[in-house]
DNA sequence: GATGAATGAGGATTCATTCAT
DNA sequence: GATGAATGAATCCTCATTCAT
């Protein structure tokens, strides 16, 4: 007789929330939908989280921390800047490939609605920008990237391009599929680094 | 006897709604807040609009139609593609410069939350993408732009970069100011067309 | 055809609230009970009052202001202090006779639970004490009342006696009836002014 | 090996409940607040008590029984009625002096809100009135007290005066302090027995 | 006895929308 | 057109109580 893996209801609730938020949207869904989806009692959501907002916060912060770590790790590598950007875009796109619901929630409900939430989220998001800016600035110092374009704008273009592609997938405006994911990584980086001009 | 300037209360309500949506967010504000801001009676909002949603819809569609027209007009010009993209980015950025509240509402409440609303918005948004895609594709056919990058991705990068810069301003993560607006136009186009690489 | 007296729904709600609070208690009753009793829609309660608490507040303050006015008026009369106390006790007891539900609510839910509410109530209650203290102090200065007993204690005894009698009626521990009301006024004043001792 | 002082968790919970009820009020506090204050697990409160109400009941009944016993004992003494009333007032005031939180809870949450609870409390409270009435009636028969004032009213005045003074202390409307306690005893009895009149 | 996770009914409050005037 | 009182469904959150360990 093997010992049963202990069930972490907190985790179950978070995972259920991802599905519900992705399906119905944060504002349209009810807390009871989350509880139902998780198969737990209504009140248990409030046992683990102070509010509906906090469920979303937790989801975002958990994942965003992983993203920040990935960017930091990438930044530390001894590779060309272009390769770093490829790795970062790749990480974000793979996050979507691996768990599209979670990324949908993060982009649609948090990243693109960050003003509704406290300044905490905006600061976290800015942390990611700052890390990527570091990558660009170092590349500019090393002469890999040209310096006419302020790093801040470069970052916005890069990150904006990625998020827009994900949004295209989320809204069904862009074809999805295994091939699409990999080519998206390449094309975004090609565009941002090489430019569209012939 | 001088002719009274006709007061268009419908317009007053729409303008008030922009300020309220920008300040409090579409979900957090109440219809009464709009009426208060407009200085009209509660019920009048419902005299002119079927619902709170319709107020936002109207705001979005009014402005988006202008944007589409601007893109169409630009597309028809006989100028290099890069110049066209500069005009389009310029138009969007000038829209923000001229009425930041309205653009904030359109981006934060509509463009980036389009899934909450009916498919109407998504289709309208996609119309803009399609027009810009036309610009890119023609440039590719003419050899102005290289063809390795699918036009669809190019558009996403271009539009995403613009929206991200606006978002940066909206969230206070990017320096604003008259200079910033003009240089933003240039830098976005430089990045997307010329690339970051040295 | 005579014009109908306009119905003041705010008043109707307040009056209904008195009955409901008296019957079920402030904590046990639901806002919907008040609306039902008043025969109005649920939301109307919130159209006129910010919260359930505020309904009780309004009831208390309305009536308490009348009490304060009555005490002030009595105090201004040129009559012996004992007569003044009789008038004050009489006013409070007549208030109960006239609208026992309202006085029950004020005593049970406000006066005797004033710590749950904001300091506003306590201050209002203290205002009544202060006025009565004035009556006693003047009587002491004039030699009508002896000075050994601090006015503050005298007031507490006087007011406490009245409230306790009302509480006795409310809880069914003391016989009620038209006779009882008048004799109560006399007996309370006799006790406080003349003392029990033979 | 020294014998451990036995820890009576039931007692610890009751004592914690007194503090919590006094601080936050019976209705506003949560059962978990009691457990926290007591430093015990949530469920333990329910191990010892059937419900939150029962905790309050226990507190009240425990103390009230002591009060009843004190009154009974006083009543049996061969001393003048005035002295008996002084002893009773003294006992209640000393109870407050010794444990103000407990008396606050009993007065604010039970004695003055007795209608919310079952008839049990009212009957217990009435028992005290009956005992004091006995004191007064005997005094009236013996000619110590005059008979015009029905004993029942005399009791209400006496007990009401005491409770009002305690309430004054509780609500901060009356000066407290060691001196105040003793003079309060004297003044209440002087007022009730001797009257205010010169 | 002791723990604290789990349950779920209950109720206040909000607010979009309607409608009589 | 204009007003704002009236409606009532929707839903978050609280918290007493139970129960498995």
* pLDDT for D158 beyond 90: yes
Angle between helices C81-98 and C178-189 in degrees, nearest 10? 150
**How far apart are the C-alpha atoms of D92 and D63, rounded to whole Å?**
11
Q: What is the mean pLDDT of residues D109-123?
A: 78
pLDDT for residue B111: 84
Do D43 and D59 lie in a common domain? no
pLDDT in tens, B53-81: 999 999 999 999 999 999 999 999 999 99
A117 by DSSP, 3-state: which?
Answer: coil
A197: β partners: B145
CB pairs under 8 A between A and B: 171
Question: Nearest residue of D to residue C181 by CA position?
Answer: D153
Nucleotides of strand F under 7 angstroms from a protein beta carbon = 1-20
Is nucleic acid strand F under 7 Å from A146's C-beta?
Answer: no
Question: Nearest residue of A to residue B127 by CA position?
Answer: A173
Nearest to A78 by CA among A119, A151, A135: A135
What's the first-to-final CA gap in chain D, in angstroms? 69
Question: Nearest residue of C to residue D137 by CA position?
Answer: C196
Q: What is the mean pLDDT of residues C145-160?
A: 93
**How far apart are the C-alpha atoms of B193 and A198, rounded to whole Å?**
9
* pLDDT for A144 beyond 60: yes
Do C112 and C61 lie in a common domain? yes
Is nucleic acid strand F under 7 Å from D69's C-beta?
Answer: no
Is nucleic acid strand F under 7 Å from B34's C-beta?
Answer: no
Do A181 and A100 lie in a common domain? yes
Do B61 and B134 lie in a common domain? yes
Taking CB atoms and an 8 Å cutoff, what residues of chain D touch C187? 149-150, 153-154, 157
Do D73 and D124 lie in a common domain? yes
Q: Hey, are the CB atoms on A187 and B150 less than 8 Å from each other? A: yes
A145: β partners: B197
- If you write DSSP's letter for every residue of B33-102 in order, what string do you get? HHHHHHTS-HHHHHHH-SSHHHHHHHHHHHHHHHHHHHHHHHHHS-S-HHHHHHHHHHHHHHHHHH-HHH
Q: What is the CATH number of the domain that holds D170?
A: 1.10.357.10
Nucleotide nearest to B44 (CA to C1'): F2
CB pairs under 8 A between C and D: 171
Q: Do the beta carbons of residue B165 and residue A156 sit within 8 Å?
A: yes
The CA–C1' separation of B58 and E21, in angstroms, is 29
Is nucleic acid strand F under 7 Å from A28's C-beta?
Answer: yes
pLDDT in tens, A113-141: 766 666 788 899 999 999 999 999 999 99
Do A158 and A177 lie in a common domain? yes
Does chain D touch chain C (at least 3 C-beta pairs within 8 Å)?
Answer: yes
Which band of pLDDT confidence, cut at 50, 70 and 90, is reported for residue C1?
Answer: very low
The CA–C1' separation of D36 and F13, in angstroms, is 21
pLDDT for residue A112: 73
User: Is the full-model pTM beyond 0.85?
Assistant: yes
Q: Do the beta carbons of residue C154 and residue C145 sit within 8 Å?
A: yes
Which has the minimum average pLDDT: A33-37, B131-135, C192-196?
Answer: C192-196
Nucleotides of strand E under 7 angstroms from a protein beta carbon = 1-20
State the nearest Cα–Cα gap between D3 and chain C, in angstroms.
44
pLDDT for residue D196: 64
Query: What is the signed CA dihedral for B47, B52, B58, B59, rounded to 10 degrees?
Result: 120
| C66's tokens | 């009348």
Taking CB atoms and an 8 Å cutoff, what residues of chain B touch A150? 183, 187
Q: Do the beta carbons of residue D58 and residue D49 sit within 8 Å?
A: yes
Do B45 and B78 lie in a common domain? no
Q: How far is CA D23 from CA A24, B115, D55, in A?
A: 43, 49, 16
Q: Hey, are the CB atoms on D196 and C192 less than 8 Å from each other? A: yes
State the nearest Cα–Cα gap between D13 and chain C, in angstroms.
23
Q: Which domain holds residue D22?
A: 1-49
State the nearest Cα–Cα gap between D27 and chain C, in angstroms.
8
A28 by DSSP, 3-state: which?
Answer: coil
Q: What is the CATH number of the domain that holds D8?
A: 1.10.10.60
Question: Nearest residue of A to residue B115 by CA position?
Answer: A171
Q: Hey, are the CB atoms on A145 and B194 less than 8 Å from each other? A: no
Do D77 and D90 lie in a common domain? yes
Taking CB atoms and an 8 Å cutoff, what residues of chain D touch C83? none
State the nearest Cα–Cα gap between D191 and chain C, in angstroms.
6
Q: Hey, are the CB atoms on B190 and A27 less than 8 Å from each other? A: no
Which band of pLDDT confidence, cut at 50, 70 and 90, is reported for residue B112?
Answer: confident
pLDDT in tens, D36-67: 999 999 999 999 999 999 999 999 999 999 99
DSSP state of C145: B
Do C121 and C168 lie in a common domain? yes
Q: Do the beta carbons of residue C103 and residue C91 sit within 8 Å?
A: no
pLDDT for residue A3: 45
Do D71 and D147 lie in a common domain? yes
Do A101 and A168 lie in a common domain? yes
Nucleotide nearest to C32 (CA to C1'): E11
Q: What is the mean pLDDT of residues B95-102?
A: 97
Mutate to test the interface with B, among A111, A113, A149, A156 (most CBs of B within 10 A): A156
Q: Hey, are the CB atoms on A126 and B173 less than 8 Å from each other? A: yes
Do A7 and A100 lie in a common domain? no
Provide the number of structural domains found in chain A: 2
* pLDDT for C166 beyond 70: yes
Nucleotide nearest to A41 (CA to C1'): E7
State the nearest Cα–Cα gap between C192 and chain D, in angstroms.
5
pLDDT for residue A111: 81
**How far apart are the C-alpha atoms of D146 and D56, rounded to whole Å?**
39
Q: What percentage of chain C carries pLDDT values higher than 70?
A: 92
pLDDT in tens, A63-102: 999 999 999 999 999 999 999 999 999 999 999 999 999 9
């Amino acid at each position: 007789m093997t010992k049963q893996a202990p069930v972490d209801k907190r985790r179950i609730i978070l995972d259920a929330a991802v599905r519900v938020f992705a399906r119905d949207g944060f504002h349209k869904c009810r807390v009871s939908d989350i509880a139902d989806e998780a198969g737990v009692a209504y009140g248990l959501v409030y046992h683990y989280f102070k509010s509906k907002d906090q469920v979303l916060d937790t989801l975002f912060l958990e994942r965003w921390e992983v993203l920040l770590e990935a960017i930091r790790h990438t930044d530390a590598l001894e590779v060309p800047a272009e390769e770093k950007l490829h790795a970062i875009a790749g990480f974000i796109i793979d996050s979507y490939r691996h768990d599209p619901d979670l990324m949908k929630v993060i982009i649609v409900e948090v990243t693109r609605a960050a003003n509704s939430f406290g300044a905490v989220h905006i600061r976290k998001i800015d942390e990611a920008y700052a890390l990527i800016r570091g990558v660009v600035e170092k590349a500019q110092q090393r002469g890999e990237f040209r310096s006419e374009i302020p790093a801040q704008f470069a970052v916005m273009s890069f990150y904006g391009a990625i998020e827009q592609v994900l949004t295209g997938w989320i809204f069904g405006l862009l074809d999805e599929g295994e091939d699409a994911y990999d080519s998206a990584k390449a094309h975004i980086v090609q565009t941002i680094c090489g430019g569209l001009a012939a």
